[in-house]
Chains A and B, each alone.
Chain A
Amino acid sequence: MTTNSIEQLGLYCLIIVLLTPVLGKYMARVFRGDRTLLSPILAPVENAVYRICGIDADSEMSWQVYAVALLVFSIVGMLVTYVLLRLQGFLPLNPQHFSGAQISPDLAFNTSASFTTNTNWQAYVPEQTVSYFSNMVALAIHNWMSAASGIAVAIALVRGLTRHSAKAIGNIWVDMVRATLYVLLPICLVYAMFLVQQGVPQNFAPYVHAHTLDGRVQTIAQGPVASQEAIKMLGTNGGGFFNANSAHPYENPTPLSNFVQMLSIFLIPAALTSTFGCMAGSPRQGWALFAAMSVMFVTGVIVCTTAEQRGIPAVAACNVMVHPTPGQPGGNMEGKETRFGISDSALFAVITTDASCGAVNSMHDSFTPIGGLVPVSNILSGEVIFGGVGAGLYGMLMFAIIAVFIAGLMVGRTPEYLGKKIERYEVKMAMLAVLVLAASILGFAALAVVLPINAHGYWNSGGNPWTNVNNAGAHGFSEILYAFASATGNNGSAFAGLNANTPFFNLTLGIAMLIGRFLMIIPLLAIAGSMVKKVPVPATSGTFPTDSGTFVVLLLGAVVLVGALTFFPALALGPIAEHLQMIHGKLF
């Protein structure tokens, strides 16, 4: 790592550490239903929403009702998106005259599943496929709704862990409305204007035809980019307005906009650990989770940046500079932008895959094998290194349950978390979530590699799915593994060379996204429902403290062990094999 990359990482961590307790405490107030600074303006709006929607804000829900409500809300939203995408040709704000026929039924299914589950995987080129209306209405509403529902589920799980002798875990409608009005909206309002100031467009004009100095005509895509960009990052959604996502100079024009985008990815997931600490009545409990996440984050940045700075031997052989100099970045600049260089590209890649954001400011497919191993490992960790808004916290709490269970086994004592006994039911549910995710990733990836499909048929016109890869050799397998990891982990980034816009991939990846979102959430809400009934037992000298350094190490062990045991064989076939091939000068 260069001095500059260390300084940038240091500044980044410092700002996140400072903002975490501030926003964390604020969110704890919001979800307790307390008055906040913004209440004079927002409380009337909030009450109006409850009135219009017929929501009784004072009644609370059992975990079953909470889960069913979330499912129904998601299904309704998914249907709306599917229909709006298919009908985009008849809808307004479509100066490029894109038609609904450009979005085939399988692509529309994949895209609506993708945005509903906070994945924002995009199997299409946005600037050539979707209208401004589709972007801002059909798709971007899910940037808000899925972020709000993710936060709601995390808060419900925290209530389950921290309340006792109760039945209800909150009201999902109230949680979602408050998350949107009091957290997402005010930040996005300021954030979107900052992005415009930096150079992100916000207009409804047709694409501009520029007549260049060199005598060419350049068609420049436009659109309401800033309003979508803000929530795309803050809600850890990651679905780009343009194909190049946050590498596109219109989405991310300057190093400053880039730094703020990176901050906005971790902002809410990091703060939610503090919200958890506040609601548990012990901020240290939140900081313990934060510490475990930070260790994995910083490790990832160091490994990824070092690998990318080391560059590609075959490129260095053409006498291209690998070491950074004051006038050029060196390293592996394939698929990276000059204004971001190596440091900001590697840092962004780690952040966006730690959090299940999936926006990219460089092309992960062109990373060195070890540089690319880091993002895919981050996703395979279960998206718990800060993770998606809400999803990161509930995922990490699931691992906390597994960690105290393992500790309990070691000392032969019933494990406890926050003073409550962790019993068979909770561990079963946590393991169910872990196993379902692993089965989806590995099962679908294996299927895509071995399944024979006829060429020129409906499902995959090129024939066998593995022929859709952009790169031969081990890297091709990495592309497929990355795709199903990203879909199941609800990340949305890609080794984007894979041609995933075929009915086979659209269907399987769409199903993987739904599995990854809902078969994770339902077991966790079941845990919340079971824990909320329990009575805390007083701490004794035999109680394992879950706000200690030992617990942080144990939690790290649980995440790394589960991930390594499950996915190491697959990673050995992909990035690790490719690394060995690369250093021996093998090309495919």
Chain B
Amino acid sequence: MLRIIKPAVLLTVVFTLGTGILFPACITLMAQSLFPKQARGSLVKYHGVVIGAAHIGQNFTSPCYFHSRPSAAGNGYDASDSGGTNLAPTSEKLIHGSPAAAGSPSFTGIAQLAVEYRKENDLAPSTPLPADAVTYSASGLDPDISPANARLQEARVAAASGLTMDQVKSAVALHTRNRTFGLLGEPRVNVLAVNLEIARLIAASHKVK
């Protein structure tokens, strides 16, 4: 038996040191020297302040910014508590929401989200909404919205920010990504990137005035 236990214990030690410590250490060294920006989380700075991470979605409520998708991460876009609603298609709560109860905060259902989205963007009930606009993402940190979702928000953003429709549209176009190689993934607009562009344009227009 000892002939089995000894190699089992020693091999576990070797695995622990090799794959648990040496491997991540090597990858960290290589990553920090070859791709330092990504290795540190692709953080985005504006006027020297970290305002977010390029890949991590965040909450925007000001009318002058594009709004991200509904989020179930913590109290919304909590990047230290990722996750989705895990509610089923037959869930009353998912469709019609639930009021606050002991121990659980209120939850906004898809029907209510659709009403709010239309009201916010001044859309008629007959306007079909993009599927991503009123559904909660998987991670709760989805950095993107669909181009159709962005298009429906453009008029509101232009009106609230004082920018022209052309400026807003070109900001969106600048940060729209198509399918990789025309094949993989889906077309999408990075919300933080486009809002940073909007913020810069707003700042520039104030300077001109």
Asked if A336 meets B11 with Cβ closer than 8 Å, knowing A127-B81, A193-B31, the reply is no
The answer to whether A475 and B88 touch (CB under 8 A), given A201-B39, A244-B141, A319-B126, is yes
Q: Which of B123-171 contact A (CB under 8 A)?
A: 125-149, 151
When the two chains form the complex, which single residue of B39, B60, B131 contacts A331, counting CB atoms closer than 8 Å?
A: B131
Near B by CB (< 8 A), chain A positions 361-412 give: 361-363, 365-369
Q: Interface extent on A, as a size class?
A: 35 or more
Q: Give the Cβ gap from A76 to chain B, nearest Cβ, in Å.
A: 5
19 further contact pairs, Cβ within 8 A, besides A318-B114, A319-B127, A471-B91: A73-B11, A136-B24, A197-B35, A202-B32, A214-B58, A219-B79, A221-B82, A247-B84, A249-B55, A255-B184, A256-B180, A326-B187, A327-B148, A334-B110, A339-B185, A341-B186, A345-B138, A475-B88, A497-B87
Chain A residues with Cβ under 8 A from B86's Cβ?
335, 363, 365-366, 470-471, 495-497
Contact, CB under 8 Å: B128 / A203:
no
Please tell me if B173 contacts chain A, counting CB pairs below 8 Å.
no
- Interface residues of chain A: helix, strand, loop or mixed (majority): mixed
- A341 to B: closest C-beta gap in Å: 4
B41–A222 contact, CB under 8 A?
yes
Closest chain-B Cβ to A505's Cβ sits at a distance in Å of: 15
Partner of B4, one of A69, A80, A213, A231: A69
- Bound Cα distance A561, B91 (Å): 32
Contact yes or no, B138 A247, CB < 8 A: yes
Which residue on chain B has the smallest CB distance to residue A334? Answer: B135
Chain A residues whose C-beta falls within 8 Å of the C-beta of B24 in the assembled complex: 136, 140, 202, 224, 227-228
Closest to B82 in A: A244
A40 within 8 A of B: no
Do B58 and A216 have beta carbons less than 8 Å apart? Answer: yes
**Does chain A have a CB within 8 A of B38?**
yes
Of B8, B88, B125, B126, which one neighbours A76 at CB under 8 angstroms?
B8
Q: A192-B27, A224-B24, A362-B138 are in contact. Are A249 and B56 (CB under 8 A)?
A: yes
Q: Does A587 contact B (CB under 8 A)?
A: yes
The distance in angstroms between the C-alpha atoms of A471 and B12, with both chains bound, is 41
Residues of A within 8 A of B32 (CB): 202-203
Assuming the A-B contacts A53-B10, A221-B80, A338-B144, are A328 and B4 also in contact, with contact meaning beta carbons closer than 8 angstroms in the complex? no
Is A298 on the interface with B (CB-CB < 8 A)? no
Residues facing A in B83-110 (CB within 8 A) are 83-92, 94-96, 110
Q: A-B pairs with the 9 shortest C-beta distances?
A: A255-B185, A497-B86, A327-B148, A247-B138, A341-B186, A328-B130, A244-B139, A244-B82, A328-B148
- A214 proximity list for chain B (CB < 8 A): 58-62, 65
Q: Which residues of A contact B14 (CB under 8 A)?
A: 49, 52-53
Flag if B8 contacts A180 (CB, 8 Å): no
CA distance A249 to B7 in the complex (A): 40
Kindly state whether residue A145 has any CB partner on chain B within 8 Å: yes
Given known A-B contacts A136-B20, A212-B51, A587 and B96 have beta carbons under 8 A apart: yes
> Could you tell me which A residues sit within 8 Å of B by CB distance?
4, 7-8, 11, 49, 52-55, 65, 68-69, 72-73, 76-77, 80, 125, 127-128, 136-138, 140-141, 143-145, 173, 176-177, 180, 185, 188-189, 192-193, 196-205, 207-214, 216, 218-222, 224, 226-228, 231, 242-244, 247-250, 253-256, 258-259, 311-312, 314-315, 318-322, 325-341, 343-345, 360-363, 365-369, 470-475, 495-497, 578, 581-582, 586-588
Chain B neighbourhood of A340, CB < 8 A:
185-186
What is the size, in residues, of chain B's interface with A at 8 Å between Cβ atoms? 108
Is B186 a contact of A329 with CB atoms below 8 Å?
yes
- Is there contact, CB below 8 Å, between A128 and B127? no
Contact with A along B14-35 (1 / 0, CB 8 A): 1110011101101110111011
Complex contact B110–A318 (CB within 8 A): yes
Partner pick for A338 among B58, B77, B188, CB 8 A cutoff: B188
The CA of A145 and the CA of B129, in the complex, are separated in Å by: 48
Q: CB of B201 within 8 A of chain A?
A: no
Q: Which of A52, A141, A318, A581 has the most chain B CB atoms inside 10 A of its CB?
A: A318
Residue from the list B91, B135, B188 in contact with A475, Cβ < 8 A: B91
Q: From residue 45 to 90 of chain B, which have CB atoms closer than 8 A to chain A?
A: 46, 49-62, 65, 69, 73, 77-90
* Bound-complex Cα distance A340 to B144 (A): 10
Q: Which residues of A contact B95 (CB under 8 A)?
A: 314-315, 587
Q: How far is the CB of A382 from chain B (nearest CB, A)?
A: 26
Other-chain contact of B50, A196, A211, A224, A578 (Cβ < 8 Å): A211
